[in-house]
Structure 1
Amino acid sequence: MTEALLDRWLADAELLAPRAGRDRWLREGSLLLRGWGEPHRGYHTVEHLAEMLAALDELEAAGALGVGEALLARAVAWFHDLHYDPRAAPGSNEHRSATMARDHLHSLGVDDALVDAVEAGVLLTEAHRVEAGARHTPMLEAVHDADLWILSAPQERYAAYRAQVRREYAHVPDDAFRVGRAQVLAGFAGRERIYRTDHAHAAWTERARRNLAAELADLGRP
């Protein structure tokens, strides 16, 4: 999986930072993969990264993203959980990852406007919400949906995801974890619309609502 991801990074890095050169693209890609491969991670791993990139590919193929927007969305995917500490205060991981994205992309020579767009996409993943009526772009909507693709995963994958999240938060006592997890999932289940793009709304919502209802029932929430 990591070799395929590195190939994807190299292809996108050439478009984002054509003047940096292959050696710098390779060094950056290796650094990114080391971050995603940290041993304390349970769910926020290269598997999640690969699934998010696949979801973005699906959205691009469905017409939710143009070519340039898809490139930026993939850059967001690479950086959005680059820093991940399950013990961190809410929002800390996303803000740290956004800062790392700015630093890394600037060091490669990526244009400021593109860096700003990637930073905005990383910060969006803090709340996992594109506010109704707020100014947003197809790229931000696609990032939002791709990051939440896992809610609509097939039953076996969703079960594995649940176990990965629990392992990542092994330091949290069972009762506290159940309460916190139920609150998070109830927030998604209570949304009128989980996904923002038309394709994700049509293709992923039914499975997501089924998965959410099943896990909430297991957690003791109606």
Structure 2
Amino acid sequence: MLAAPNPIPVYRDLAAHYAEPHRHYHTLDHIEQCLRQFDLAAERMEEPHAVEMALWFHDVIYQPAAKDNELRSAQLFAQQAGGAFEPHFTQRVFDLVLVTTHRAVPAVQDDGYMVDIDLSGFGMDWASFKADSEAIRKEFAHVPDEAFYPRQAGFLRALLERPRFYFTDFFRDRYERNARENIARCLDELGARGLV
């Protein structure tokens, strides 16, 4: 690697983004949770430094109604990085941020780790899962229940229909069962409340 940018102003910029008042889930707490999961799996990754950098940046741009948050987050990383890193590293981090759109099956192992870490909260205990769900709902407070909950249920059902919720064996062994149970319970509760 070449000389990296001064991390202090970069961190301050990241922290300012993650502290924006419209955020309740996509905060530094989420990044800390992701980094804890990263620490558990890093030795299994091919390019752990790229995954770690991508985790810091993957939600730095977040507007609930926007469809391009991940792209704009990746672009901010590239802008912050300037020419300080080898081109391969910069491109790899950029691509890893983009996999957190969760629109495609991860193509390579580290993409799978990136996606699994981002979704690791689904596999936590019920109280943590519920708190995360409530925080996400607060971020979409501008969306009425009759629009929000059916969309949320559709996303959750799509996750349940995947043959594997987690793409890596490490996270599958660790969280798959809890994630499926949490999602099923959430869908049952939404149905019981007449929201879906």
Give the TM-score normalised by the residue count of structure 1: 0.82
Which residue of the other structure, out of 49, 52, 70, is the alignment partner of 1:94?
70
2:94 to 110, 115, 119: 119
Alpha-carbon distance, 1:128 to partner: 5.3
Query: Is the 8 Å Cα contact of residues 123 and 178 (structure 2) preserved in structure 1?
Result: yes
Pair 1:83-2:58 in alignment: no
- 1:172-211 maps to which residues of 2 (within 5 A)? 172-211=143-182
Residues in 2 aligned to 1:52 and 1:129: alpha-carbon distance in whole angstroms: 20
Contact 1:52 1:147 (8 Å CA) reproduced = yes
Check 1:125–1:148 CA distance in 2 against 1; reply closer, same or farther (3 A cut).
same
2:98 maps to amino acid? L
**1:58-103 per-position Cα deviation (integer Å, ceiling 9, x unaligned):** 112xx4325xx22111101011111000021x2x111111111111
Listed as ranges, the gaps of 5+ residues in structure 1 are: 1-15
Structure 2 CA distance, aligned partners of 1:29 and 1:83? 14
Identity of aligned residues (%): 30
Q: Partner amino acid for 2:145?
A: D
The TM-score normalised by the length of structure 2 is 0.92
The unaligned stretches of length 5 or more in structure 2 are none
CA RMSD of the aligned region, Å? 1.7
State the match for 1:4 in structure 2.
none
Cα deviation digits, residues 97-151 of structure 1 (max 9, x gap): 11111111125x11111000001001111125425xxxx3322111010000011
